[in-house]
Structure formats: structure tokens, C-alpha cells
Amino acid sequence: MIILGIDPAIRTTGYGVVEFGDSSRFRVIDCGVIANRPGLPHTECLRRLAGGIRELTAAFQPDAASIEEPFVGRNAGTAIILGMARGAILAVLAEREIPVYAYSPRRAKKAAVGSGSASKEQVALMMAAELQIEPEQIPLDSTDALALALCHGQLAINPALAELLTKPL
């Protein structure tokens, strides 16, 4: 089973592609960011973001996607922009008929590291240990996406945990 984890943002969307076998063993296939430079109009950022998700889904053919649950902070404008980015991503995944599951950052980090309050650096350290690479080789913006993919994969491959799966969006 291949899971595409996505941490949406208008400027730097993190992604992680994780393959799960029959057991809880997994391997990270790819991780990185879809970056938009500051100053680009939001419409161009959304077009590029959708294009990046299309490329990832074509390249890796994920069985499911895991995305961060939306949160509403104090700044309504930021929440609206994040919602636009999420919408662009969800539209592409819907076009490709890829089921999407949402998890809170806290739940994803707990699945990946054992602590819901883990930092991006701690998630990178854990992933680096699993992959036997240097933590600096993992873009920090992709760490939450990897944690999201791990969270969903651990639940999806274990029949005993199926009841903990969220409903697809």
C-alpha cells in the first residue's frame, strides 16, 4: 500500500510518499516540497500546487492520501489561504479517485515519533534513523507529511486498528 502524506500550505507544501508492506514495516519512497516563491499571485500558487500533486499521483500511484486537518488560528486571512491550498489538493485527489483521510498534526506526530508534541526536527531524526540517512537530507517542510502518511498507513494495514481510521473526506 502506498500512502501520499500532504502538509498543505500556499508557499511550501510538504509531501511524503510511504510504502507499507504486510506488517508494520514501511519504506519512504520520496519526500520533499512543492514550493512557490514569495510574490507569486495566489492563483498561480494554486495552479502550481495542483500540478505538483498531479505529478506526484502520476509518478507514485498512491492507494490513499493523508492530509493535515484544517485548523483555524487567530488570523482569518491565513485560514482562508490555507483552505484554498487544501481545496486545490483535494480537487486533484478527487479527480484521481484517491481516497483522502485527515489527521491532526498531533495524532500524526504521535504515530511517527510517539509524542504528539514532537518538533519537525524530532520527526526528521526519526525518519532519518529509519532510512539510515542524515536528518539534513529530509526537508523540514516534509516531516509532517511523512508523519501523516505513517499515521494513516499504520492504521490502514492493521485490521485490529481499522476502527480508528477516520472517514475519507
Number of separate domains in the chain:
1
In-domain check, residue 169: no
Q: How far apart are CA 96 and CA 44, in angstroms?
A: 21
Please report, for the domain that includes residue 86, its CATH number: 3.30.420.10
Domain that holds residue 86: 2-164
30 is catalytic: no
pLDDT tens digit string along 84-105? 999 999 999 999 999 999 998 8
Q: Is residue 31 part of a domain?
A: yes
Predicted confidence (pLDDT) per residue in 16-36, tens digit: 999 998 766 888 899 999 999
Q: Is residue 102 part of a domain?
A: yes
User: pTM of the prediction?
Assistant: 0.90
In-domain check, residue 94: yes
Q: Which of 55, 141, 144, 163 is catalytic?
A: 141
Catalytic option among 68, 95, 121, 130: 68
Q: Is 68 a catalytic residue?
A: yes
